Amino acid sequence: MINYRNKNKFLHSYKQYLQLVNNKATFIDIARCIDPACVEQPWNRLKFIADEFGIPRVVQIWTKNPGDVLRRGQHLLNEFRKDGTIVICQLTVTGFGPEFEPRVPWPVDWQGIDMMIDFLGTPRALLWRYDPVIPGISDLGMFEYLVRNFAQRGITRAVYNRGEYGLELVRKRMGHLYHRIDFTLDKNILSHEIEQTGRDHGIEFLVLAEGEQLAKPLNVSSRGCWQYEWLVQASDSFPSRDFLPGVFRPGCICAPSFDIGHDGQYEHCHGCVYCFAV
Ligand code: SF4
């Protein structure tokens, strides 16, 4: 639950967000810094916001465990959907396994992924994140297996991204695994292999906007993941472009969204060794 002091701070930031999006284009991230499959806190906050301000226009789920997300949040999300909220999902699947992601379902939980696609109503509402790509550790054989399986499920959009390996926190979390990163690998070749394999199976891969600096030297397309075109494909009821507030998240072309999670919950999340959340 939200304690009194945090509640005021939380209310204040949400009101600021409402102003930014003209009180209408409300896009909630559940959640960027904690997987909502792991804890109740982001669900409590989502409910709190809806009770105080009305339901959001879009709820975007961020997860590595769609089965547990649905177990925790399906009921609430269904309530919102009855009143018109659009639900979309950014699903991260890397294929690293428990050495790198100790509490992420392994082997890949295709059953949970199918449940999520069913819940969303269309594979177009699910964006696959192949994130992070770690040179020397990301396995292109595994990647191709993932591409084939996502393609069979009708997924046509995906994004990939690089990690932040320079951070002391990440080096510490990775421990001996850090030495397996191959900094000599040509990132350009890796990027083009990812994009080409995707194209071969009908999946369009974009490098995330955080990779802007990467995109320039590499000559690959750098875009945001929250594109208007995606939302329109995900739901027939998404309004015209005029609905959007005309401002963007800093550093990318995504619509501004509000992250319902908060820091300090790494211990309760999946324990990914490359994580830079505190
Ligand atoms: S531990 Fe970090 S990287 Fe892993 S799911 Fe949680 S927030 Fe994401």
Q: How far is the CA of 66 from the centre of ligand 1 (A)?
A: 14
Among 143-147, 194-198, 230-234, 244-248, the range scoring the smallest mean pLDDT is 244-248
Q: What backbone phi and psi angles, to 5 degrees, belong to 30?
A: -125, 95
Angle at 80 between CA 110 and CA 237, to 5 degrees: 85
State the pLDDT confidence band at 266, using cuts at 50, 70 and 90: very high
State the pLDDT confidence band at 74, using cuts at 50, 70 and 90: very high
pLDDT exceeds cutoff 50 at 138: yes
Q: How far is the CA of 167 from the centre of ligand 1 (A)?
A: 15
Nearest CA to ligand 1 atom 3: 275
Q: How far apart, in whole angstroms, are the C-alpha atoms of residue 64 and residue 127?
A: 12
Which residue is associated with the tokens 């790198």? 100
> Residues 214-260: pLDDT tens digits?
445 444 444 556 667 788 888 888 878 778 887 777 666 677 889 99
Query: Angle formed by the axes of helices 187-200 and 140-152, to 10°?
Result: 30
Q: Identify the residue with better confidence: 227 or 56.
A: 56
Q: What would the mean pLDDT of 87-106 be, rounded to a whole number?
A: 97
Q: Identify the residue with better confidence: 50 or 235.
A: 50
State residue 250's pLDDT score. 67
* Best of 272, 274, 276 for a ligand 1 pocket test (most atoms within 8 Å of beta carbon): 272
pLDDT exceeds cutoff 80 at 190: yes
Kindly provide the residue ranges of all beta strands, DSSP E only, lying in the chain, ordered along the sequence.
Answer: 27-30, 58-63, 86-92, 126-133, 157-162, 204-208, 222-223, 258-259
Q: How far apart, in whole angstroms, are the C-alpha atoms of residue 58 and residue 83?
A: 11
Q: What backbone phi and psi angles, to 5 degrees, belong to 181?
A: -70, 130
Q: Report domain extents, the chain.
A: 4-268
User: Which residue type occupies 135?
Assistant: P
CATH of domain 4-268: 3.80.30
Nearest CA to ligand 1 atom 4: 272
Of ligand 1's listed atoms, the one at least distance from the Cα of 276 is 2
State the pLDDT confidence band at 36, using cuts at 50, 70 and 90: very high
Taking the mean position of all CA atoms in its chain, how far away is CA 175?
A: 25
Of ligand 1's listed atoms, the one at least distance from the Cα of 38 is 6
State residue 220's pLDDT score. 47
* Omega within 30 of 0 (cis) for the link into 277: no
State the pLDDT confidence band at 168, using cuts at 50, 70 and 90: very high
State residue 99's pLDDT score. 97
